[in-house]
Amino acid sequence: MSQPSQPERIEMRGAVDLSGLARSAGPAPGEPGGIPAPGPYTVDADTASFGELVQASTQYPVLVVLWAQWSEVSTTLLRDLGTLAEESAGAFLLARIDAEANPQVAQAFRAQSVPTTVALLGGQPLPLFEGGVPIDQLRGLVAQIKEAAAANQITGLAPAGPGEQGAAAQPEEPPLPPLHQEAYDAIERDDLPAAVAAYTKALEENPRDEDARAGLAQVRLLERLRGTDPQAVRRAAAEAPQDVDAQLAVADLDVATGAVEDGFARLVDLVRATAGEERDRVRAHLLELFEVVGGEDERVVAARRALAAALY
């Protein structure tokens, strides 16, 4: 795997120097005045479990926050990142490590203050920022992390843990249809062409299999993103706004990294600016991205209306 590209560093605020500070007692996670209880995609880690986080980062991004009980900025940051982790439904795992209780980890990251936030991608640490930042900037950071992960074929989802919402009893899912299971197994072993073949066969057998249609669209998106350089893709699109290939590529990247509205709007504008076969190609690509996101999603509903207006 190539060295992951590092997300832009964010201006920090509220970082507190670790040197010379004695450990002080504080409320436990979930208690009044303490950090929030772990959510479904948030874990409390320590020195002993740190190796598991490194290994997990080869499958999905891990954001590590070194925090302290006495730090109000830590509490706010962990609450906001926990919210984003839950919203992302496994796009990254938030790992919270008490810096004072685990000084070896703090030293390994060369943390000089709390909170300190570091990303783990493919087993490699990427220092991000110290202190706290507004949640809007955190959303942008998460998008950058997703881009870096996609560029390095780190496409897994973090499992839902035993957080308060994740621990709710869920009914046992029925087994997948054979071809769907075949596609799922292919994705697990990183054989995307085999997954495409399985979903395609499922649709040939049942053209109304919406799950297969959505799965096929998602796997095709992963295939198109494989090996791409996100920065190069965005640069090419900015330099050639009328280049259909460049605009389709950056729309894929937008959708994959959560900027769904931007990707949809980009292609609707391109439909207006093209004609004939090129317009048909852009329209078909946009419809496939609708399948990736899901037909009931409000962003898809809005984009369908905009597409209709652009066409007629």
Q: In this predicted structure, what is the pLDDT of residue 32?
A: 67
pLDDT of 31: 66
What is the pLDDT averaged over residues 22-33?
Answer: 57
Mean pLDDT score, 36-53: 90
Retrieve residue 8's tokens: 């832009």
> Considering only the top CATH level, what class is 178-311?
mainly alpha
**Residues 105-119, buried b or exposed e (16+ Cβ, 10 A)?**
bbeebebebbbbbbb
Q: Whole-angstrom Cα distance, residue 160 to residue 96?
A: 15
Q: Is 7 helix (H, G, I), strand (E, B) or coil?
A: coil
Would you state the structure tokens that stand for residue 22, as one six-digit string? 């004695």
Instruction: Give the span between the Cα atoms of 270 and 66, in whole angstroms.
Output: 45
CB atoms within 10 A of CB 203: 17
Residue from 28, 36, 112, 21 nearest 75 by CA: 36
1, 153 Cβ separation under 8 angstroms: yes
Gap between the Cα atoms of 41 and 142, Å rounded:
14
Q: Which of 220, 305, 227, 279 is nearest to 255 (CA)?
A: 220
Backbone angles phi, psi at 52, to 5 degrees: -65, -35
SS (H, E, C) 198-214: HHHHHHHHCCCCHHHHH
Give the strand pairing for 113-114 and 116-121.
Answer: unpaired
- Count of residues for the chain? 312
Q: Residues of 155-175 as b/e, b for ≥16 C-beta within 10 angstroms?
A: bbebebbebeebeeeeeeeee
Q: What residue ranges do the domains of the chain occupy?
A: 16-151, 178-311
How far is the C-alpha of 146 from the C-alpha of 150, rounded, in Å? 6
Highest mean pLDDT among 13-27, 170-184, 220-234: 220-234
> Counting Cβ atoms within 10 Å, is residue 204 exposed (0-12), middle (13-18) or buried (19+)?
exposed
138-153 per-position pLDDT tens digit: 999 998 898 888 888 8
**What digits encode the pLDDT tens for the residues 239-287?**
999 999 999 999 998 888 778 899 999 999 999 999 999 999 999 999 9
Lowest average pLDDT, out of 92-96, 166-170, 278-282, 295-299, goes to: 166-170
CATH homologous superfamily, domain 16-151: Glutaredoxin (3.40.30.10)
| 89 phi-psi bin (left φ>0, alpha ψ -120 to 50, beta other) | left
Q: Which residues pair with 132 in a beta bridge?
A: 13
Q: Is the pLDDT of residue 19 over 70?
A: no
Strands 113-114 and 16-17 come out as antiparallel
Is the pLDDT assigned to residue 25 strictly greater than 60? no
How far are the Cα atoms of 64, 158, 191, 257, 291 from residue 92, in angstroms, in the given order?
10, 6, 22, 12, 23
Instruction: Please state, rounded to an integer, the average pLDDT across all residues of the chain.
Output: 85
Which ranges of 115-226 does DSSP label H, i.e. alpha helix? 135-151, 178-188, 192-205, 210-225
